Amino acid sequence: MQLQDIVQTYEKDLAIVESFLQKEQDSYVKLIPEISNHIIMSGGKRIRPLLLMIASDLFGYRGEGRYPLAAVIEFIHTASLLHDDVIDHASIRRGKTSANRLWGNAASVLVGDYLYATAYKLLTESNNQTVQRLVAWATTTMVEGETIQLVKSGDVNITEEEYLAITEKKTAVLMAAACALGAVLAEAPESSVDLMTRFGMKLGITFQVTDDTLDYVGLEEEFGKTIGMDIMEGKMTLPLIWSLRQGPPSEGEGIKKIVAAKTADDGEVKEIVDFIKTYGGIDYALGRAGQFVEEAKAIIAPFPESFPKNALLALPDHILNRNL
């Protein structure tokens, strides 16, 4: 099953979510919709709202409650991107000049705050405390993950286990919440909610590991971010963590010094990319991502055959193979 087949099936649902996104981010302060539209309408795949639609469908819920919650998830995601780009000093987001470069850090942070507040305003319209607790858990966990990553910036001794723990918190948890919300809306058993949470976690880890690998091998115009940016920011991701374990310590020490300094130029970035390719970091990271794909599929496998089940089985492969 192709991604376009999945998106086409939920096209009308996603269009309703889009209307929520447009209406709720509006403000008489023109700078707010100007900045938020710059990123909201910049070509994001709406994977998280799509996950919520598919998960709801899997358990037989097709009520109106899906739409504002899908918008809540997308607003939280968008707000986190605005804040992340400020923290990372990013210059490109989704193939366009990042908001912080166009409007400055202060404006980007404030509009990110506005989108978080808008998400929680929408969330108050739900009387379901389980839904509210789930979204609050995801949001606070994301902030914890980003904070840990900030603390670990430039730490060249980070382990694979620490990297994956950060990945779960900063990226996977929101996908997990989107999947779990579909089951909660359908009043599915707690065991099913737990399964959907676990599936979303595996999917989110796959997404981030693949994203981090694309930082070394992707095409910038397709990837939508500056290639090699993780190196410049002192971020230790899985391809580099593995390569440092495999390469000779003498060579690795030089690489570590470059990363820790957070001042890598184009030549040093190329040196590190070549080091990663030489010692198998790309293949290892994609192999690990493939393992998470299989683990995600195994979680979904026991559910009865249906279109939404097959859609959930297809999404991990799409995420793994994007833009490589």
Is residue 150 assigned to a domain? yes
Is residue 319 assigned to a domain? no
Average pLDDT over every residue of 247-275? 92
How high does pLDDT run on average in the chain? 92
CA angle in degrees (0–180, nearest 5) for 170-173-177: 145
Residue 92 three-state SS? strand
- At residue 93, the pLDDT reads 78
Is residue 324 assigned to a domain? no
Is residue 154 assigned to a domain? yes
Is residue 323 assigned to a domain? no
Contacts of 33 (CB under 8 A, 6+ apart): 25, 26, 27
Is residue 115 assigned to a domain? yes
Task: Give the whole-angstrom CA distance, residue 6 versus residue 50.
Answer: 9
The total of structural domains in the chain comes to 1
pTM of the model: 0.92
Average pLDDT over every residue of 86-107? 86
- At residue 281, the pLDDT reads 96
Top pLDDT among 96 and 281 is at: 281
Query: DSSP readout, 191-233?
Result: HHHHHHHHHHHHHHHHHHHHHHHHHHHS-HHHH-S-TTHHHHT
Handedness of CA 50, 55, 56, 60 (dihedral sign): positive
The CATH code of the domain that includes 43 is: 1.10.600.10
Task: Give the whole-angstrom CA distance, residue 324 versus residue 320.
Answer: 9
Average pLDDT over every residue of 161-185? 97
Average pLDDT over every residue of 209-229? 71
Is residue 320 assigned to a domain? no
The pLDDT of residue 259 is above 70: yes
Is residue 321 assigned to a domain? no
What tokens appear for 136 in the block?
């609050």
Domain containing 142 equals 3-312
Query: DSSP readout, 275-288?
Result: HHHHTTHHHHHHHH
